[in-house]
């Protein structure tokens, strides 16, 4: 274990975690918030540590092994992408063995459930009062547990046992992560760390079609409309049929939910931020869904739909159905995320080796820069059951993952991260975390090596990505190597992402954490109404229906939520 405590964070596990999480879609509730007014756990951790040192120094080993093994129970969500090496199961695998061998912690799975039913089964467990020692929950469930005094205050054990690197990861984007699980100054759970930056919206363009039709790269919203028109009406695939469309959408509307084919990017180009909480001129928070900029963006989408530039059937297509059209080469534009070359653009490339896709920064409707919105809401947490004798065990398990990920060793990476035959064993870890900027660092390091031909400073994971990209560039690569180039290469998606970072263009949702009282009761109703009204407007309903939506939103609960949000904001 000693050699796992130093060095740079290996990107291999971070990459896998971020990309897989992104491909599965971010289902966080964009309107979550209201962890009770709190001093930040990050600041409190520093103050408590300093006070402890000045009072009576105590030797704490963040990876200390229990003299006699202890048992900790949990519940596990089983995803469709989980595969096990021969002989391994969710109960007995490389991570469960590491917990026992390295920490003296025996993990027992009380129950498992498919990811589609896990939340419902956990609701039953909470209602019955029969929860495991480690409780994986959503934001609403965490608030229920805290209100019912069913989970431990983790403030002290976090301050004492979280390793320096673990604390660095959880405070990389400020105190937002820890604050999301903090109630009345107490850290009540371990939040799931996810780099919000990686969810920035991009404009993906079928660049071989762009070149074929002699079109300029998109610089404005007008350019996007012109490209969509050409991709619809000028036979870009050359088959002599009018069977292509410009902009792909899917029925969930927002790509922040699916990572693919949403209206977010065009909205951001109109400086509109639906389902975000943003500051108004007076410094108060207002909901972006009811601002006039949204109306203007909806009108443009309606115009494009009437002109046939948007898939006429988008309202009935889920992400996979929309992706089928993408893979079949039937459209050439969508707003999405940095990982789209892994899905669904890989299918487009498989079906047509000449298909080329390029990611561009989102574009603006006017002379002001388009700024992608990023929601920082965290919706996944791990709490510890009230009365469990060893709450610090959860922190030690998290430290173990962080430190193993920090071991820049090929054997370690293949054993605990991703096996040589592609099995993602990192998913078996009960608690996971990685630095949010890992993918951007991957791009910067790899592209520098591509320019200089010097790979001596690359980590193992970076060198692997470098090798895949150079294989593609040599002309012998597969679709998988093409995908790596389209993400991390010199003209990959992180080229645009780096522009966001360099120019500090991202706009963050100002509200994060667990839902307020009225949100818990009314938000799903408001979201459903928004979805229905916006979809119908795009498909041709009167744009004046937006004004009625705003009025109804306020009456049904929006005004009360806004009041609660601002109370939280002033006291956070």
- Domains of the chain as residue ranges with CATH: 2-23+66-197+378-428 (3.40.190.10), 202-371+515-571 (3.40.190.10)
> Per-residue pLDDT for 471 more than 90?
yes
Say how far apart CA 23 and CA 531 lie, in whole Å.
22
Residue 9 vs residue 526, higher pLDDT: 526
Residue 295 vs residue 6, higher pLDDT: 295
Lowest mean pLDDT among 18-22, 219-223, 250-254, 424-428: 18-22
Tens of pLDDT, residues 341-392: 999 999 999 999 999 999 999 999 999 999 999 876 677 899 999 999 999 9
Residue 146 vs residue 259, higher pLDDT: 146
Kindly state the percentage of the chain with pLDDT values over 90.
Answer: 67
User: Mean per-residue pLDDT for 442-454?
Assistant: 96
Query: Considering the chain, what is the average pLDDT of its residues?
Result: 87
Q: What region, left, alpha or beta, does residue 61 occupy, with left being phi > 0 and alpha being psi -120 to 50 degrees? A: beta
Please tell me the predicted confidence (pLDDT) of residue 39.
Answer: 36
Instruction: Please name which of 152, 142, 157, 165 lies closest in space to residue 45, comparing C-alpha atoms.
Output: 157
* Contact by Cβ (8 Å): 446, 458: yes
Please tell me the predicted confidence (pLDDT) of residue 436.
Answer: 74
Tell me the sheet residues that pair with 382: 136, 190
CA 450 vs CA 16, 446, 453, 461, 535: distances in Å = 22, 6, 5, 15, 45
pTM of structure: 0.75
Within 8 A by CB and 6+ apart from 557, the residues are 518, 521, 522, 523, 525, 526
Lowest mean pLDDT among 37-41, 200-204, 253-257: 37-41
Tens of pLDDT, residues 410-421: 788 788 888 877
Instruction: Name the 3-class secondary structure at 342.
Output: coil
Residue 79 vs residue 241, higher pLDDT: 241
- Report phi then psi at 249, rounded to 5: -130, 165
**Is-cis flag, bond preceding 344, omega within 30?**
yes
Tens of pLDDT, residues 65-106: 999 999 999 999 987 778 899 999 999 999 999 999 999 999
Would you state the structure tokens that stand for residue 108, as one six-digit string?
Answer: 């027992």
Kindly state the percentage of the chain with pLDDT values over 70.
Answer: 89
> Per-residue pLDDT for 11 more than 60?
no
User: Mean per-residue pLDDT for 10-30?
Assistant: 37
pLDDT band at residue 459 under the 50/70/90 scheme: confident
């Amino acid at each position: 274990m000693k050699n796992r405590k130093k060095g740079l964070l290996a990107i291999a596990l971070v990459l896998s975690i971020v990309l897989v999480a992104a491909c599965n879609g971010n289902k966080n509730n964009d309107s979550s918030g209201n962890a009770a007014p709190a001093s930040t756990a990050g600041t409190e951790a520093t103050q408590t540590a300093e006070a402890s040192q000045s009072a009576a120094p105590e030797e704490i080993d963040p990876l200390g092994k229990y003299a006699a093994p202890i048992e900790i129970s949990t519940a596990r969500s089983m995803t469709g992408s989980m595969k096990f090496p021969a002989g391994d199961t969710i109960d007995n695998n490389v991570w469960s063995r590491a917990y026992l061998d390295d920490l003296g912690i025996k993990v027992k799975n009380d129950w498992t459930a498919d990811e589609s039913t896990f939340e419902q089964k956990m609701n039953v467990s909470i209602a019955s009062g029969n929860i495991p020692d480690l409780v994986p929950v959503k934001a609403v469930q965490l608030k229920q547990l805290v209100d019912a005094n069913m989970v431990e205050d983790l403030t002290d054990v976090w301050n004492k046992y979280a390793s320096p690197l673990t604390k660095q990861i959880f405070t990389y984007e400020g105190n937002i992560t820890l604050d999301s699980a903090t109630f009345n100054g107490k850290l009540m759970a371990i939040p799931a760390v996810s780099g919000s930056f990686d969810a920035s919206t991009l404009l993906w363009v079928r660049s071989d079609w762009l070149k074929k039709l002699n079109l300029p790269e998109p610089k404005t919203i007008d350019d996007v409309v012109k490209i969509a028109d050409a991709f619809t009406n000028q036979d870009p695939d050359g088959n002599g049929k009018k069977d292509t469309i410009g902009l792909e959408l899917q029925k969930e509307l927002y790509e922040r939910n699916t990572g693919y084919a949403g209206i977010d990017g065009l909205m951001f180009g109109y400086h509109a931020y639906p389902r975000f909480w943003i500051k108004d001129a007076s410094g108060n928070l207002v909901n972006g869904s009811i601002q006039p900029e949204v109306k203007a963006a909806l009108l443009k989408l309606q115009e494009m739909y009437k002109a046939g530039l948007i898939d006429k059937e988008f309202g009935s297509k889920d992400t996979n159905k929309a992706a089928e059209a993408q893979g079949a080469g039937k459209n050439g534009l969508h707003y999405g995320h940095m990982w789209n070359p892994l899905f669904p653009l890989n299918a487009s490339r498989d079906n047509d080796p000449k298909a080329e896709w390029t990611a561009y920064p989102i574009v603006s409707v006017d002379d002001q820069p388009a700024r992608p919105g990023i929601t920082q809401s965290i919706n996944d947490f791990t709490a510890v059951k009230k009365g469990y004798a060893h709450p610090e065990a959860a922190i030690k398990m998290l430290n173990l993952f962080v430190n193993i990920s920090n071991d820049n060793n090929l054997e370690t990476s293949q054993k605990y991260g991703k096996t040589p035959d592609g099995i993602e064993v990192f998913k078996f870890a009960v608690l996971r975390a990685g630095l949010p900027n890992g993918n951007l660092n991957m791009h910067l390091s790899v592209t520098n090596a591509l320019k200089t031909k010097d790979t001596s400073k690359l980590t193992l994971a970076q060198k692997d990505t470098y090798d895949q990209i150079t294989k593609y560039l040599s002309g012998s690569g597969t679709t998988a190597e093409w995908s790596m180039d389209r993400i991390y290469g010199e003209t990959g998606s992180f080229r645009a992402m780096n522009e966001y970072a360099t120019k500090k263009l991202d706009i963050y949702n100002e509200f994060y954490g667990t839902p307020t009282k009225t949100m818990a009761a009314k938000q799903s109703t408001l979201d459903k109404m928004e979805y229905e009204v916006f979809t119908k407007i795009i498909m041709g309903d009167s744009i004046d229906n937006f004004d009625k939506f705003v009025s109804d939103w306020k009456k049904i609960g929006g005004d009360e939520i806004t009041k609660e949000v601002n109370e939280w904001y002033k006291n956070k």
